[in-house]
Amino acid sequence: MSGLLTRVVFLAAAIAIAPACIPAQEQEVVDRIVARVENDVILLSDVRALSRYQQFLDGKSETDAQILDRLIDQWIVRTEADVSHSPRPSETDIDRGLTRVRNSFGSDLEYEARSKQAGLSEQAVRAMVASQLYLSNYLDSRFRPAVRIDPKEIEDFYQTAIVPRAKARGQEPPTLDAARDTIQEALIQNGINQQAEQWLKESRLRLHVETFLDEVAK
């Protein structure tokens, strides 16, 4: 994705998938504890599972340290969602999410090849999509009501992002009215991201977190 408009996505999309939702047969053998968060643990196999999912989606993955950081954030979001009794995504919503993942690849053949290369079955990918939706839906319900978008923000975004991008592509830009809803939603999601990031930073200060990734690497 490129451009500000297409880069504005939920934080949970970056957090990705709860390892507990990956079928047992898709997990590596549990070998080492790489972090403790309160009374729970994050395993090296969890890091490897998220690494495979990133490889599947993007053809590359972050470092183990970056992935562990995402898993800790994920733990915070999932724990809060569970406590809040956040609703689970419907099968219809999961189907739509899975379709979006498939459509992000050039073809069904590429999708199948990449999932096979990453060692992910269709069941595992579906579980990942379901978990991602669960986390993103919680963040949306928690922070969306507090996000306020000024009409001038929409107009500024239109003039500084939408119009120049269309012209750079040799296209006629859409009218402001035609683009208004899309821009507003993008700005709302950006606001959700900002609030969620701040909340996660503050939440970490209240948690007992120990990491052992460096020890495992030795």
Backbone phi, psi, residue 16, to 5°: 75, -120
Return the minimum-mean-pLDDT range out of 13-17, 66-70, 147-151, 192-196: 13-17
Question: Percent of the chain having pLDDT more than 70?
Answer: 84
Question: Percent of the chain having pLDDT more than 90?
Answer: 83
pTM, full prediction: 0.79
For the stretch 124-166, pLDDT in tens is 999 999 999 999 999 999 999 999 999 999 999 999 999 999 9
Is domain 4-146+196-217 given the CATH code 1.20.59.20 in the classification? Answer: no
pLDDT at 47: 94
Question: Is 172's pLDDT higher than 80?
Answer: yes
pLDDT confidence tier of residue 105, bands split at 50, 70 and 90:
very high
- For the chain, the domains span 4-146+196-217
pLDDT at 142: 97
pLDDT confidence tier of residue 213, bands split at 50, 70 and 90:
confident
For the stretch 25-76, pLDDT in tens is 444 444 799 999 999 999 999 999 999 999 999 999 999 999 999 999 999 9
With 0-12 / 13-18 / 19 or more C-beta atoms within 10 angstroms meaning exposed / middle / buried, residue 168 is exposed
pLDDT at 40: 96
pLDDT confidence tier of residue 9, bands split at 50, 70 and 90:
very low
Calculate the average pLDDT of the chain.
87
